[in-house]
Structures are given as structure tokens and as C-alpha cells.
Amino acid sequence: MFIGVQHRSTQAQGMLCRFDCRYCEFEGPARVVGIGDGGATSAYFLDNAASQRKANTRAAAAAVRNGERTLSLARCPECGRRRRLAVLAFWGKTSMMLLLSALMQWAIGAYAFVMGVEFAPYLFGPMGLLVPFVIAYHYRWQWNTVDERVGFIRGTFI
């Protein structure tokens, strides 16, 4: 049995980045807000401060990655288009996660049924439909807030 403290951290990080549109060749600075979560555990209540720092560091790194992904998905302020490959990568990754989560639930249910748990299909069948919706709800905010978390700065260049 594990004894310790779970530390969680959520951070929002503002970044000044350069935006380049591949369609209309617009170039300019943009302020991006990335949001990230991080966690760490202090085993047996030892060194809680270091564990909290590690959670903060992981959250900050996740916020930077989220900011970079957000900028790649942003609409160009000139032509209004998004980068096609970034959009395909975002939706492809999200779709694969949804599909794999459903298949995992159904595989666990099938294995449990084969092992003699007769109610497994009634439990894991609906779970295979429910879990992807929960995951989709979790990832929906990233797509819905892309344009709100990117602000373009006019008249200056980095």
C-alpha cells in the first residue's frame, strides 16, 4: 500500500510567439495563453516541497506545449484559415483516443465475459460508449477556446 501526498498544479502561461500563415504569408507577433496540468507524489510524506515544485514544473511545461499547439490551430487574422495539418493532427489524435478508449472498454468486457463474469457485457458495453463522450468533453475546450487564447499584435514585429 502506498502512503504519501498527491500534489496537483494547473497553470496558465502567457507567451509572445511569432505566427506565420502558410496560405497568405502573413507574419506577425501573437500573444498566446497555454494551460497545463501537472502532478507529482511525495512518497511516505517525504520532501513535500520538492514534490510540489515538480508538479508546478510539469504544469508549466504542459502549458508551454498547449500554447504551441494552440498557436498552430489559430486562425490567421488576414485570411481566416487554419493550418490544415495542425487541424488534421488535432482531430486525428482526438479521434484515435476516443476509438481506443471504446475498444479498451469492450476488450476488458469481452475478457471478463470469457473468464466467467456473466454481467461484464452489460457493464462494459455501455462503458465503451460512455467513456469516449467523457474524453471528448474533456478535449472539447481546447478546440472551442483556440481563437480566444490567441491575440495578434498589429503594427509590431518580433
Q: What is the pLDDT of residues 41-63, one digit of tens each?
A: 887 777 888 889 999 999 999 99
pLDDT of amino acid 44: 75
Find the radius of gyration of the CA atoms of the chain. 21
Grid cell in block for residue 1: 500500500
Residue 154 burial (10 A CB sphere; 0-12, 13-18, 19+): exposed
How much is the mean pLDDT over the chain? Answer: 90
Least confident of 67-71, 105-109, 110-114, 134-138: 134-138
pLDDT of amino acid 156: 56
Read off the DSSP letter of residue 78: T
pLDDT of amino acid 43: 77
Average pLDDT over residues 74-85: 93
Residue 75 CA neighbour count, 13 Å, CB half: 11
pLDDT of amino acid 2: 62
Four-point Cα dihedral 155, 61, 145, 130, nearest 10? 160
pTM exceeds 0.85, yes or no: no
The residues, any chain, with a CB within 8 Å of residue 115's CB and separated by 6 or more, are none
Domain borders along the chain are 4-152
At 18, the pLDDT band (50, 70, 90 cuts) reads very high
The percentage of the chain sitting over the pLDDT mark of 70, rounded to a whole number, equals 96
At 1, the pLDDT band (50, 70, 90 cuts) reads very low
pLDDT of amino acid 142: 84
Average pLDDT over residues 109-116: 94
